[in-house]
Amino acid sequence: MVISSSNSYSKSNSDVVKINTANNINLKRFTQNGQIQIYKSSYRGSYSSIIRDCLRNAALGRKVLLIQFMKGGVKQGIANAVKLCGNLTWVRSSNSFDLYNSEEIENNKNLKKSIHESTCELWNFCKKELLSGKNDQIILDEIFLAIEMKIIDKDDLISTLENRFISGDVILTGTGIPKDLLLMANQITELRS
């Protein structure tokens, strides 16, 4: 008997239920992680199907965390997360890149600092959630843009994904995806216009 959400497992895996001849069962904690899925597109704003699917999963009883790194307009932040279907927590940055044009951001040091700080705050929250095991699915929308803008460190994301504890999937979306992360993915989906 195997306790697993996956159809494939290693026979040498020590995280299986062992049954001895005396019918005693020795249980061990099973710590299998879900898959890493990457959705890439040549343009921003093409991930409505992912948001639809996470809403459906939440309605079916799965605990879902949706983080939108570069979307804003609602001054939401971690403290003002939106709850939908009782199981979907939707968080956007408190000060977002999308509210301004790139020239405004580059010319205003305080604005640039505020956007970077709110994005870093969101990333630190995500790291805790990925390590907590409390969610069945976590979506990190446009995290690759935050890496490209040098707000989030690529190696920090890789390390966090390697050490995550989540039985469901982690979904990453973006346009410019580093090769290191493509190699980590169990599934890569390219969305075309």
Q: What distance in Å separates the CA atoms of residue 138 and residue 126, rounded to the nearest whole number?
A: 9
Query: Model-level pTM?
Result: 0.76
- Helix (H) / strand (E) containing 39: strand 36-41
Q: How far apart are CA 138 and CA 128, in angstroms?
A: 12
pLDDT, block means (10 residues), the chain with 193 residues: 32 41 47 80 71 88 90 73 87 74 78 85 94 91 88 93 85 88 90 74
* Tokens read off for 134: 């409390």
Query: Rounded to 10 degrees, what is the CA torsion of 160, 162, 164, 169?
Result: 110
Q: Where are the domains of the chain?
A: 1-32, 33-191
| DSSP state for residue 47 in the 8-state scheme | -
Q: How many CA atoms lie within 13 A of 108 on its CB side?
A: 13
Q: What is the pLDDT of residue 100?
A: 66
Task: Give phi and psi for 144, each to the nearest 5.
Answer: -70, -30
- Nearest CA to 39 among 178, 146, 177? 177
Rounded Cα distance between 114 and 71, Å, is: 15
CB 77 within 8 A of CB 152: no
User: For residue 55, what are its two tokens?
Assistant: 């809403």
In this predicted structure, what is the pLDDT of residue 73?
Answer: 59
End-to-end CA distance of the chain: 45
pLDDT of residue 63: 94
H helical segments located in the chain: 48-59, 102-107, 109-132, 143-148, 154-162, 179-184
pLDDT at residue number 14: 40
| CATH class name, domain 33-191 | alpha beta
